[in-house]
Structure 1
Amino acid sequence: MKSINKLAGVFAPLIFCLSFTLQGILREDYDPVKMYISALSIGKYGWIQIVNFILFGILLFIFSVSLLRDAKKSNTTMTGPILLIICSVCFFLSGPFEMDPIGTVSSNITIHGTIHGLLGGIAFLLMPIICFVFYYFMKNESNLKKFRNWTLIFGIVISLTLLLFTFATKIESLNKVLSDFQGFLQRLVLMPYMLWVCLYAFKLYSRSIKSYDSNKIPENLKNY
């Protein structure tokens, strides 16, 4: 069961990214370079991305809770898993609380659009923080030494791309220049995070499988 929970963390980003990528290719009314991923929730086929958000949130939540249980059993910090749980809830709720169409004037912004923006802001802010938190607490796990270094790299990359994305959307002069690339810039932040989640979950899944196989071997044969 523990292995299955870890697999949820492997498949969550794979399904999520594959879904919005295929939608971006197939939908004629959508430009993945210019438009946010959440814009896929709008229109006739918007329900597909809404379901995609919800499914990703559920799978990431299952993975995060399994990490929380592992942390409780080993009496280690629960900070990382808790942040992942918060992130999963933000993605889950981003489904039903869909964004407003791009270019909506401030007077016409809806409550669900405002909530979607807040949820997205929290999720994106947590992405580099989660990497740095896990990097710090991986120092006591010798079998994650190499991946710990990669976690630091992912954290730095996500931080830099998040800064670029934030400046490009919040600073008016940059917004005018990069307005046609906001979808691309958003993906520059999101994709490294998704890759990190997938790799980390796969690392833990592989370790749990090895542990399970080792426990099946009789004690008198383990030294042979």
Structure 2
Amino acid sequence: MSSNCTPAARITRSLLGYGIIAGPLYVVVALAQALTRDGFDLSRHAWSLLANGELGWIQITNFIVTGLMTVAAAIGLRRALPPGRGGTWAPLLIATYGVSLIGAGIFRADPAQGFPAGTPETTTVSWHGWLHFMAGGIGFLCLIAACFVLASRFARDGRRRLAWFSRITGVVFLAGFVGIASGSHGPTTLAFVAAVVTVWAWLATVSVRFYRTAS
């Protein structure tokens, strides 16, 4: 990075920096809760359920802060992308995912599957539970689309590794989303966790790529 970069480039890099740290923050905070909160089973319970109980504010904050970081990264990506394929749609899709994370924090998922401790295995879905699912579904689909839009852009620019990483991430996240949406648990839940980690790694990689070239 040049020490004499323009003020505009510094702003762009600052915004893209949020895309680098958003994923690690989200994963570390959620995983720490998943491994320590009483009654939470990583192989059965979706991380959204962590928004319930006395410590639910931690995951709610995690959703909202990470969502804001993702929106900031999308703005930085829009500023960094040269005109051409995906220059508008990719940042817009990623920003929509960020907004969906904020929505997921505001409209928390309902207690279910015995979590928090004492919750029945089957519960009725509330209005905010439905809005949580809707926000997540829209955000996931937008993020998947962003992977393929940027894959096309990278392929056109001759960045074959990034193109393939984007395609693979899109496929992995789509498969994980379909699996978790089916309602199955066990390996499917763990596979979705792996897909979440993969897609955050992809966003960090894309942010680093444009952080280095912002001018």
Normalising by structure 2, we get a TM-score of 0.82
Aligned equivalent of 2:133, options 108, 117, 126? 117
* 2:168 corresponds to: 153
Change beyond 3 A, Cα 1:62–1:49: same
- Whether 2:68 is the aligned partner of 1:58: answer yes
* 1:197 corresponds to: 203
Runs of 4+ in 1 over 4 A off after TM superposition: none
- Whether 2:83 is the aligned partner of 1:75: answer yes
Deviation at 1:187, TM superposition (A): 0.9
- Whether 2:134 is the aligned partner of 1:128: answer no
1:1-224 to structure 2, matched below 5 A, reads 1-71=11-81, 74-76=82-84, 77-102=87-112, 103-105=121-123, 108-142=124-158, 144-167=159-182, 169=183, 175=184, 179-181=185-187, 183-208=189-214
Residue identity opposite 2:209 in structure 1: K
Question: Structure 2 CA distance, aligned partners of 1:35 and 1:3?
Answer: 36
Q: Is the 8 A contact 1:37 1:183 kept in 2?
A: no
Deviation at 1:60, TM superposition (A): 0.4
Deviation at 1:204, TM superposition (A): 1.7
Deviation at 1:131, TM superposition (A): 0.7
Q: Is the 8 A contact 1:36 1:182 kept in 2?
A: no
| Structure index of larger Rg | 1
For structure 2, the residue ranges without an aligned partner over 5 or more in a row are 1-10, 113-120
Greater percentage in helix = 1
Residue identity opposite 2:56 in structure 1: G
Deviation at 1:146, TM superposition (A): 2.5
Residue identity opposite 1:4 in structure 2: S
Number of residue pairs aligned between Structure 1 and Structure 2? 195
- What's the RMSD between the two structures over aligned residues? 1.9
User: Residues 84-139 of structure 1: CA distance to partner in whole angstroms, max 9, x if unpaired?
Assistant: 1111000011111100111453xx42211110011111122223221111101223
Question: Structure 1 CA distance, aligned partners of 2:135 and 2:192?
Answer: 15
Instruction: Tell me the secondary structure at the aligned position of residue 95 of structure 1.
Output: helix
Q: Is the 8 A contact 2:93 2:143 kept in 1?
A: no
Q: Is the 8 A contact 2:12 2:80 kept in 1?
A: no
Among all aligned residue pairs of Structure 1 and Structure 2, give the percentage whose two residues are the same amino acid: 23
Normalising by structure 1, we get a TM-score of 0.79
Query: For structure 1, which segment, 2-11 or 158-167, has the greater mean C-alpha deviation from structure 2 after superposition?
Result: 158-167
For structure 1, the residue ranges without an aligned partner over 5 or more in a row are 170-174, 212-224
Q: Is the 8 A contact 1:128 1:155 kept in 2?
A: yes
Residue identity opposite 1:78 in structure 2: T
